[in-house]
Structure 1
Amino acid sequence: MDNYQRDLHGPDAVALLAALRQGSLSVEQLVRSQLARLDQVQPQVNGATQVFHDDAVAQARLLDASGDRSLPLFGLPCSVKETFAIAGQLLTAGSARMAPQVPTEDAQIVRRLKAAGAIVMARSNVPEFAMTAESVNPRYGRTRNPLDVARVAGGSSGGEGALVGSGSTVFGVGSDILGSIRIPAAFCGVVGFKPHSGAVDQSGTWPVVTGNTLSWLGLGPLTRSVRDARLVYDVIARQPVAATPPGAGRLVLPGGFPLAMRAPCMAKALAAARTALLDAGYRQQAQDFADVPYLYNQIPKLILDDFYDGWLRLLSTPEAGRFSPWAELLRQWMKKATIDDGLLRWMLIAPLMKPRSAVKVKAIAARFAEARSRYQALLGSDGVLVLPTLGLLAPAHGQMNRLSLKPGVNGWFTAHTLGNYLDLPAMAIPAWKFKDPASGLPPSISVLCAPGAEAQLFAAATRIEAALN
C-alpha cells in the first residue's frame, strides 16, 4: 500500500467539524471521502470487519438536509470496536467457535455517538475474545499496521488503530483492559485515551466484566489529535472534562520503576515531553514506585481468575464439542486450529498462573486495591506521570504475543499496564518529530493522572503533543 502518514497539520475532527458547520464541506462529501479511503486501504490493512456504505451515505444526506449543526459530533464518520453492540449486527469477538450474539440494541457508547451526530461507518477488527495485543482471529483474519503492513497494528482495539491511523475514519472508540486502546494508538501513530473505569458506561460492550479486573477496564477514543480525544470523550463520558484550564501541576518521576526502551528515539521523545512540562512551570517530584514489579507479575493471575472459566464455557459448543486447550494445541500443530494462537497461549499458562484458591485471589486483589488507592492519592489533583507508552515500536506479525505473554517483569510493558491496574486515566501521544530513522515509525509517549484530574492530563497532553510533533 502507499506509505500513508497522517498530516499532523491537516484536518482533525475539530477542524472538520468547523468546516461542516460553516458549510464549506458537506457531510456527504466527507463520508464519501472517508469511505473511498477505507475501500482503498482495506485489502491490505484489513482494519474493518463491516462497512456500512449505504447507511453512512443515507445518514450523511439526512444530516445535510435537516441535521442540527450544533451537535457536538455533527456529521463526523467514525468506527466502533466489533465487541461493541450494534442492534441487529452479529457480535462475534472474532471467534469461529463461540456462538455469535445478535444484540437488539446499541451499546450505550454507540448510542451516545449517534445522538451527538456521529455517523458509524465501520466496525473494527479485534484479537479473538479481545484478549491479546495482535488483532488476528479465525473469523476476520489479521489486521496490519497502516504505517508498515509487515508489522502488527496492536490490540485489542487494533482495528481501530488501523482505521484511524490509515485515515479511513475520523475517529474510533475502543476498550482497554491491558493497553488495548493505547497499544494500537502507539503502533499506528495516533492518539489513544483510556479513561478511568467508571468514566464511560460499559453497557452493551463485550465481555461483561464483573470481577477484580473491572476497575482495569476503560472505554475511550482513538483520534487524530489530543483535542479530538477531548471532543469525543466529552460526548461518551458520564462527566465531561472540567472547562477551567488548570495551572501547572507536578511532574511525578517514578523511582524503582522498571522501564526498558528498545529504540533510542523513545528516550529522546520521553526527555522532550518531560522538558515541555518543566518549561511550562511544572514542578518535578520524585516518588517511590518500587512495588510495580510485584504488581506486574500478578496481572495474569487476576486476568485468568476472571476470564479463564468463561473462555472454556464459550468455546465449548454443541457443534464443536467441549473445548480442551491441550487438544487445541495438538490441532494447531496439525494446522487445524479452531482458535487463535494468542488466546491459546493465555489458556495454556492457566495451570501455572491461575490462583488455586479464593483466599489467594482475595489477597492479590487486596494488594492491587491498596496500591490503587495509594498511587491515586499520590498523584492527587495536579500530578501527572509521563512515560513511554511502550518500550518498543510495532514488531513484525507473530512477535507481539510472544513478547507480551512472556513470564516475568518486562520493562517494555510496565508503563501501559500501570494505567489499568491502578485505574488511572492514560493518554498515548505519537511523537512524529522523533520517528525512528530506520523504520520511520513514531515512538509514543503517555500521560497518566488520577481520576478526577483529567483537566490536568489534557493540559499536559496538549503541551506534549505540540513539543513532539
Structure 2
Amino acid sequence: MDNFRRNLNGPDAVGLLAALRQGTLSVEQLAQAQLARLDQVQPRINGATHIFRDQALAQARLLDASGDRSLPLFGLPCSIKETFAISGEMLTAGSARMAPQVPGEDARIVRRLKEAGAIVVARSNVPEFAMTAETTNPRYGRTNNPLDVHRVAGGSSGGEGALVGAGASVFGVGSDILGSIRIPAAFCGVVGFKPHSAAVDQRGTWPVVTGNTRSWLGLGPLTRSVRDARLVYDVIATQPVAAVPPAPGRLVMPGGFPLAMREPCMAEALAAARTALLEVGYRPEAQDFSDVPYLYSQIPKLILDDFYDGWLRMLSTPAAGRFSPWAELLRQLLKKSTIDEGLLRWMLIAPLMKPRSAVTVNTIAARFAEARSRYQALLATDGVMVLPTLGLLAPAHGQMNRLSLKPGVNGWFTAHTLGNYLDLPAMAIPAWKFTDPATGLPPSISVMCAPGAEAQLFAAATRIEAALN
C-alpha cells in the first residue's frame, strides 16, 4: 500500500475556501502548496498531462491583490480533464494518431470555473479517446492509482481521480458516459458526481455526442467530499441545487437484475448506507428492474453505432495512413502498436456488436428511451437508489479492460451503468470505514435520483458519507 492515502482529516475545498476568505491562507500559498504536492506525486501517478505552473501562480497573485473574495471558488486550485478545451492548448484525447485540436476558446465548463475564481493548475490524463476504464494512452502513458500504484486509477477521468485522490488537486472536473467519473472516484477513494445530461453545458468538450448515447453523457466534479461536489456543481450547472433540504423520501430498492460484489466489505458498506437513510426516515420501496440485463447487453451496440465510424476517421490521417483494426492487431502482437489496447478491444468487437441496420438501432434506442422515462417517473422527486458504485476494487493494471469489455451481462458493472442509460444524477461516495483488510482500499457506494431531484440526492449523500467515513 502506497503512502498517498487521502488524509480524511485534512481540509476539503469548502474548508480551504473559508481560510482563503478569512485571510488566514493566501491564494498564492495554497497554489504553491498544491503545485508542490503535484511535483511530489506526479512522477509516480502520472495523473497530469500538463502543469500550468507560471499561469497558476500569476493568477493567484492577482486574486490576492485585487480578487473578489465572494467568488464561489475564490482561489481554489483545480484540474481539468484533457478532453475539455482550454484556449490555445492542444487537445489530443491521448491519441498519437489523431490530429490534435487547438481550440480558440475555453469549454463552457472551464469558463464557468475560471469566472468563479478557480485556478487551473493542471490538465489530467485520459484513456485514448476517453472510452475505457484504464487510463493509459500512446501519447502520455499510464496513470497509476494514488492508493496503490500497481493498480488502475479507472477511466476515463482517471487522471482526475488520481490527482484528487493524491491531494494534488483540490477538485477536478470530468465527463461520464459509462462511469467515467464514478469509476475513477471509486478506485481512488474520492467523491464523483455525474449530473444528468442537460445539467452542465457540454460545449467545448470532446467528443461531441449527437447520437442515441447523447443522453448518457454528463459532466461533473471529482472532489474530496460531498459538500465539495455541491460547491462545484452549483458553479458549473445551469441550475443550482435547491437550498432548502427536502424531507426524507423513498429509498427505492431495485431488484431483478444481477448485482455482484467481489469483496465482503462492499456488501457491508451498502447495508450501512441504506441503514443510514432508513434511520432518518427514508421509506423502503422494492421495485422491479428486471429489464436491466437486456439494457446492459445492448450498451455496446449503441456505443459502437455512435462512435465506431468516427474512430476510424480520426485514426486515419495523412501522417499515420488509413487505420485498420486488424492491421493494428498484428502491430500489437509485434509490439509495434499505434493505439491503446483498450480502444482496439472496442474496435475488434464491432463486427459482432455494431448494428447493421437503422431499424435495429431505432428499435434498441426506443427500448432505452422507454426505460429512461419509466424509471425517472418511478423515482420522481422524492426517490433515491443506493447501490455499490462497482462490484470490485481497483484491479491491477491490464485487468480492468479485460473485465469491463468482456461480452455478456456482468454484475460488477450493472449498477453504475444504470446512471448513464437512464440519465440519472449519480454520486459515488468512498466508504473508508469499511476498508478492505487485504488491500487497504475503500469500497464505494452510489446514490442516484431522477433529474430535478438533486436536492434529495445531496441530502442522502451527506447522510451516507457521514455513516461510511
Which TM-score applies when normalising by structure 1? 1.00
Give the length in aligned residue pairs. Answer: 469
Describe how 1:92-241 pairs up with structure 2 within 5 A.
Answer: 92-241=92-241
Letter in 1 for 2:298: Q
**Partner-residue secondary structure (3-state), 1:429:** strand
Question: C-alpha distance in 1, partners of 2:326/2:143?
Answer: 27
Partner of 2:436: 436
**Partner-residue secondary structure (3-state), 1:87:** coil
TM-superposed deviation, 1:182: 0.1
Question: C-alpha distance in 1, partners of 2:408/2:250?
Answer: 31
Judge conservation of contact 2:153–2:161 (CA < 8 Å) in 1: yes
Partner of 1:61: 61
Question: C-alpha distance in 1, partners of 2:2/2:133?
Answer: 25
- Give a deviation string over 1:399-434, Cα, whole Å, max 9, x none: 000000001100000011000000000000000000
Question: C-alpha distance in 1, partners of 2:379/2:319?
Answer: 51
TM-superposed deviation, 1:9: 2.5
Judge conservation of contact 2:2–2:149 (CA < 8 Å) in 1: no
Partner of 1:323: 323
**Partner-residue secondary structure (3-state), 1:270:** helix
Partner of 2:70: 70
- Give a deviation string over 1:18-49, Cα, whole Å, max 9, x none: 00000000000000000000000000100000
Identity of aligned residues (%): 87
Partner of 1:269: 269
Question: C-alpha distance in 2, partners of 1:324/1:7?
Answer: 47
TM-superposed deviation, 1:2: 4.9
**Partner-residue secondary structure (3-state), 1:90:** coil
Question: C-alpha distance in 2, partners of 1:139/1:241?
Answer: 38
Describe how 1:355-366 pairs up with structure 2 within 5 A.
Answer: 355-366=355-366
Question: C-alpha distance in 1, partners of 2:452/2:300?
Answer: 28
**Partner-residue secondary structure (3-state), 1:260:** coil
Question: C-alpha distance in 1, partners of 2:429/2:103?
Answer: 34
Letter in 1 for 2:94: G
- Give a deviation string over 1:317-376, Cα, whole Å, max 9, x none: 011111000000000000000000000000000000000000000000000000000000
**Partner-residue secondary structure (3-state), 2:44:** helix
Question: C-alpha distance in 1, partners of 2:70/2:317?
Answer: 49
Describe how 1:78-93 pairs up with structure 2 within 5 A.
Answer: 78-93=78-93
User: Are 1:392 and 2:392 matched, yes or no?
Assistant: yes
**Partner-residue secondary structure (3-state), 1:50:** strand
TM-superposed deviation, 1:257: 2.2
Letter in 2 for 1:131: M
Which TM-score applies when normalising by structure 2? 1.00
Runs (4 or more) in structure 1 with deviation over 2 Å come to none
TM-superposed deviation, 1:8: 1.8
Gaps of 5+ in 2: none
User: Are 1:40 and 2:43 matched, yes or no?
Assistant: no
Question: C-alpha distance in 1, partners of 2:213/2:362?
Answer: 12
Gaps of 5+ in 1: none
Describe how 1:353-432 pairs up with structure 2 within 5 A.
Answer: 353-432=353-432
Question: C-alpha distance in 2, partners of 1:386/1:257?
Answer: 15
Question: C-alpha distance in 2, partners of 1:220/1:109?
Answer: 9
Judge conservation of contact 2:192–2:429 (CA < 8 Å) in 1: yes
